[in-house]
Structure 1
Amino acid sequence: MTKPYILKMSPYLRPKIWGGRKLDEVFGKDLPEAGPYGESWEVSDLEEGQSVVCNGPLAGSSLSEVVSQWGAAMTGANRDGQQFPLLVKILDASDDLSVQVHPSDADIARLGLDADSKDETWIILDSDADPNIASDEGQTAGCILHGFEKATTPADFRMAVDENRAAESLRREAVFAGDVIRVAPGTIHAICAGVALLEIQEPSDTTYRVYDYQRPGMDGKPRELHLEKAMQVSNFDTHAPAKLSAKPSTAHPAMSVLVDVPAYRIEKASGVTELEWTVDARTPQVVFVTSAHGVELSSGDETVTLGFAQTAVIPAGVGAVQVRADKPADIIISGLGGAALVNG
């Protein structure tokens, strides 16, 4: 069996009715066809789409095939044979996404749903919002919808949906590059036109659409709505502020912690030229470059070069890892939640 090594990933690319061409024009993805593309699944072990290894002895293998071969050395201690525990995407919203919500594990157990929990966090990469406009209501692009400013009732929200006011009833907020927003299960939300972001989440594609602007899908037919299920799993209370503030990591002075929840932890290194740590064997890690200047990611004799908007998977059993950059670079590192990812 091939010894685990750092994997540079090639994404699974998804056309979307709300997508555009930024995945190519801004993020350097080789889109296979003309037309709108909305999602680049950088790291995916889902049946709906698999990312593929593009370096080393396993080049051309799907992430699922690597997980099957390496087991716990890939996915983490006590996870032998399980699915890769993260789904990492770039999203390009040229038009508004549907108003939607995702269930929690508690919802699935309570309602007996045939579904998977979906907790996700957005890191804004690009936005058409105007920084000179102080009011969120005055922004014509570059916004998100995220929960409710004031608590509402299921009956009032259902009426808003029936009257085509679903989007107007949600809190609207302009976002800018670097903003971090967690979308907990039960949060009704949407990404609006003019936003591109990195999404780190549980490995699930379960989405309950509430409202889709009465538009056709890629096949010319209206996309399916899931209003009854959505109403059962939604949180209608007042929501905390959407944007999160980074906190210094207590495990490494170069790192800040963006999010730490049971499903995942996200850390960021800003302006680094050198960084070393030992991977915690309980979790694999995903590295994504957000700066124009790239990095070299090494373990033992193996080195992977990552440029802007490129992604690597570090198997849980790799051990010591080094990052080197000729110029200060910014990287996002994600893994399972509950403990520091970068230590030292």
Structure 2
Amino acid sequence: MSGAYPLRLTFTARPLVFGGRAIAERLGKSDLPDWSIGETWECSDVQGSAAEVANGPLAGRPLRALVADRPEELMGEGWSGEQFPLLTKFIDARGALPVHLHADDETARRLEGERNGKTEAWHILDAAPGATALCGVKAGVTEDELRAALEAQDFDRVLRRLPVRPGETFYVPGGTPHSFGPDTLVYEIEQTSDIQQHVMHWNMEDGSTIGDDQFAANLDMFMREVKPGPSPDPVPGLKIAAGDGVERLFLCAGPYFALERWRAGTAEPLRRRFATAQILSNVGAPVTVRAGEHRERLGRAETLLLPAALGDVEIAGPADVLFGYLPDLRRDVVAPLVQAGYAPRLIETLGENLDGGTR
């Protein structure tokens, strides 16, 4: 991967039953089919839905091949692995998602035969007034009470229902039961995985009915994988100035990923230095991305993968973009927030494993 440059990737559009037209009509993403879309997978190395490079000398190369051929140039010094570790999506929850969970790492290896589970985060791009999400088990609910309520589809009896507001972010550890929608538009970042267990009587792909035997089997596995402890709450993020009219907002962070939202006006361009691969997704007007000698126009709801070897990026404003990445938590998250004056207790609200170095 000599001669690193911003990589434009192929994406996958998924026609899930809860979807609609918001990714095209409200975010402005082009090149989408006319049917209702639940998700677009913007950067993916999930088997069967893996991205390929769509521009430049590496066009046609699978993302996984780049991971294998030049892991440090793509991901940063000292990194090794068999697949790209992050998955990002736009999600249109025109309808409600099924109540479901994703196993954590240990459970995924033990019960699913997978190398890792799936912790995820949702950054709320838009939501109707009064929108809510289910996220986590209520305190004091027993295993028997949880199972009985899930069998009865009485989710509010046992799961926490939380308000959803544009600009907030939910960090959702593996094993946490959850759902959001209707009328909610989300950018999601997560571990590279497509495992899940849900407890609905319908399939989210097409709404077809799930039989009683399959529902019972799904519920059994759900109960084996659920972690009742995590109680995620939405957070507004932590903001620091990054230039004249340039705002850097830390949305969430943990051992698997971090997500930031940067906004810039016209006084000064957005300038970001980095030591690990950056997934750059545009949630505002079209912008021009400069990295070294390279220029790329990034349209509405489009994504670029910036290899670590590039080292820095500049985007002229007005700009409103997201950066997702695999962090060194001390260097990339804790240190800049401590320097900006944030207390440890506030930094720790962004996710998990953020106490090291804050005290």
> TM-score w.r.t. structure 2 length?
0.81
Deviation string 1:215-238 (CA, Å, 9 cap, x unpaired) is 675284528653222212323247
In the alignment, is the contact (CA less than 8 A) between 1:152 and 1:237 conserved in 2?
no
Question: Larger helix proportion, structure 1 or 2?
Answer: 2
Distance 1:4 1:120, change over 3 A: same
Q: For residue 107 of structure 1, what is the aligned residue in structure 2?
A: 107
| Runs of at least 5 residues in structure 2 that lack an aligned partner in the other structure | 340-359
Deviation string 1:34-53 (CA, Å, 9 cap, x unpaired) is 43321100000111302333
Distance 2:203 2:196 in 1: 17
In the alignment, is the contact (CA less than 8 A) between 2:98 and 2:204 conserved in 1?
no
Question: Larger strand proportion, structure 1 or 2?
Answer: 1
Q: Alpha-carbon deviation of 1:76?
A: 2.7
Q: Alpha-carbon deviation of 1:183?
A: 1.1
Q: For residue 86 of structure 2, what is the aligned residue in structure 1?
A: 86
Root-mean-square deviation over aligned CA pairs: 2.8
Matched residue SS, 2:308: coil
1:330 and 2:320 matched: yes
In the alignment, is the contact (CA less than 8 A) between 1:102 and 1:206 conserved in 2?
yes
Letter in 2 for 1:206: I
Letter in 1 for 2:141: T
Distance 1:244 1:67, change over 3 A: same
Q: For residue 46 of structure 2, what is the aligned residue in structure 1?
A: 46
Give me the identity figure in percent.
27
Q: For residue 245 of structure 1, what is the aligned residue in structure 2?
A: 236
Distance 1:95 1:245 in 2: 24
Match of 1:202 among 191, 202, 206: 191
| Residue pairs, 1:254-265, within 5 angstroms | 254-265=247-258
> TM-score w.r.t. structure 1 length?
0.84
Distance 2:21 2:272 in 1: 36
Q: Alpha-carbon deviation of 1:120?
A: 0.5
Q: For residue 351 of structure 2, what is the aligned residue in structure 1?
A: none
1:188 and 2:165 matched: no
Distance 2:192 2:62 in 1: 15
Q: For residue 276 of structure 1, what is the aligned residue in structure 2?
A: 271
Distance 1:169 1:214, change over 3 A: farther
Q: How many residues align?
A: 324
Q: For residue 31 of structure 1, what is the aligned residue in structure 2?
A: 32
Q: For residue 206 of structure 2, what is the aligned residue in structure 1?
A: 218
After TM superposition, the structure 1 stretch with the greater mean CA deviation from structure 2, 248-257 or 85-94, is: 248-257
Deviation string 1:124-157 (CA, Å, 9 cap, x unpaired) is 1121x22xxxxxxxx4xx3211113433111101
In the alignment, is the contact (CA less than 8 A) between 2:18 and 2:204 conserved in 1?
no
| Runs of at least 5 residues in structure 1 that lack an aligned partner in the other structure | 131-138
Match of 1:306 among 295, 298, 301: 298
Distance 1:301 1:216 in 2: 44
Deviation string 1:235-264 (CA, Å, 9 cap, x unpaired) is 324725x21131245998842211120001
